[in-house]
Amino acid sequence: MSDEADFSAEQSGACAPARLLRADGDGGGPQGDPRASCPRSQEAERLIRLTERRDYLAANGGRRAAMPGFVLQARDRGDGDVAMRIGITVSKKVGNAVVRNRMKRRFRALARAVLPQHGLPGHDHVLIGRAGGIERPHADLVRELEKALRKVARP
């Protein structure tokens, strides 16, 4: 007789994945998610997703830094709120829907990894995908985003 039948199939200690919040504070996940969320830093909780066209247009008037895989636009909102907001856009020139969605998933992971430590508080950040960003290694994208953030932070 095997003791394996008595073990639960669920992983113990599994954490809910980190999510980017929408501008209205909604995480976009199902309500009443039974998984316990992991404790996260205050900065990670303050990364909010841009959802309105006017926010993207306003960010277009801010500072920009072009990198091989993307263009970063950053604009100080000047509203006194230290929350960092992120918007991601990839045009049809880059590829079909599968390619664009893959690129947006990579950019969301990149934003979760880099912005809490290196992002500009109180700013809107917009990542615009370029054709060269699809095949770039994640480590290169991280270095480029950190470099772009330093560039737009300069006075």
What pLDDT score does 32 carry?
54
Per-residue pLDDT tens for 121-134? 989 999 999 998 88
Amino acid at 152: V
In contact, 70 and 108? CB cutoff 8 Å: no
Domains located in the chain, CATH noted: 21-153 (3.30.230.10)
Task: Report helix angle 97-118 to 138-153, nearest 10.
Answer: 60
- Residue count of the chain: 155
Count other C-beta atoms under 10 Å from residue 54's C-beta: 8
* Regions of the chain where pLDDT drops below 70: 1-46
Per-residue pLDDT tens for 34-62? 444 444 444 445 679 999 999 999 999 99
What pLDDT score does 24 carry?
62
CA 143 distance to own-chain centroid = 15
What pLDDT score does 61 carry?
92
